[in-house]
Amino acid sequence: MAIDFGDLKVYERMTQDPRFEDAYQGCLSCGTCESLCPAGQFYDYNPREVVEATGRADEAELRNWLENKIWYCAQCCSCKFRCPRGNSAADLVMILRDIAVEKGWAKEALEKYTRILKTILTVGNQLSPDMIAPDFFPDWGPRVAEMSKHKKEWRAELGIPGLMPIDRSWAVPAHVIKELLDIWKLSGAMDRVEATNPFLVELAWDNIEEALEDEKQAAEASHT
């Protein structure tokens, strides 16, 4: 789906990002980043091109990246580490991804991210044991299927306080999750969720209200 860029000047918007001055410092076109980029090994993708396009303020090429290529990057930062000029294609890609999400142009790329977002906004973790289901990870083999079956008892056997729940990675309490939600609201991150998954915002606030109430009742009960 082609993006309607309107009057957005991609290059100008990139230069406003606080990371920009570190991420672009002039390119030698030496090809170091290109030669070690894992994404370039398997996709039509070359980190040198995004750095060079930035150097030329090449609006058409930057738009081209924004439309699709940015989602191929593995964010390994190998390019940043080895670039003799200290450029970071990894960060230029993140700046472009930021723009794409902020503008609501990343719906397709984010399609399968709803569950992760929901987990963050409801339990304060990015993952939970109940997400590791064999039907979603058949390629992980028979031992993962076995693990999924026994996850509760095996976790209990480890006996680590806070690691028993299977709906979150550890037992993050409700008042802590509320702080994270406030951070997302105050920083504008919640507006991004609104742009891609509006129903999640309502779900998150409803959920936290209930969880805080449960927490309060549990605290009262333990006092009496």
State the number of binding residues for ligand SF4 (CB under 6 A): 26
Return the one option of ligand SF4, another protein, none that residue 6 interacts with (CB less than 5 to 8 A, by type).
none
CA torsion 197-202-208-213 (nearest 10°) is: -160
The footprint of ligand SF4 on residues 52-81 (CB under 6 A) is 73-79
Among 124, 204, 207, 208, binds another protein (CB under 8 A): 124
| Least spacing, CB of residue 204 vs another protein, in Å | 13
Among 42, 152, 206, 210, binds another protein (CB under 8 A): 42
Task: Check binding of 176 to ligand SF4 (CB under 6 A).
Answer: no
Cα–Cα distance, 65 to 71 (Å, whole number): 9
Measured from the CB atom, is 45 or 184 closer to ligand SF4? 45
Judge contact between 104 and 8, C-beta under 8 A. Answer: no
Distances (CA, A) of 117 to 11, 135, 174, 176, 189: 29, 20, 17, 17, 11
User: Per the structure block, which two tokens stand in for 23?
Assistant: 């991420």
Among 51, 100, 204, 208, binds another protein (CB under 8 A): 100
Give the 3-state secondary structure of residue 133: coil
Neighbours of 112 (CB within 10 A): 8
Judge contact between 15 and 96, C-beta under 8 A. Answer: no
User: Per the structure block, which two tokens stand in for 158?
Assistant: 């480890």
Task: Check binding of 199 to another protein (CB under 8 A).
Answer: no
Distances (CA, A) of 23 to 78, 88, 90: 13, 5, 8
Task: Check binding of 27 to ligand SF4 (CB under 6 A).
Answer: yes
Task: Check binding of 92 to ligand SF4 (CB under 6 A).
Answer: no
Measured from the CB atom, is 67 or 194 closer to ligand SF4? 67
| Least spacing, CB of residue 62 vs ligand SF4, in Å | 15
**What does the binding site for ligand SF4 look like in residue numbers (CB under 6 A)?**
27-33, 37-39, 47-48, 51, 73-79, 83-85, 87, 89-90
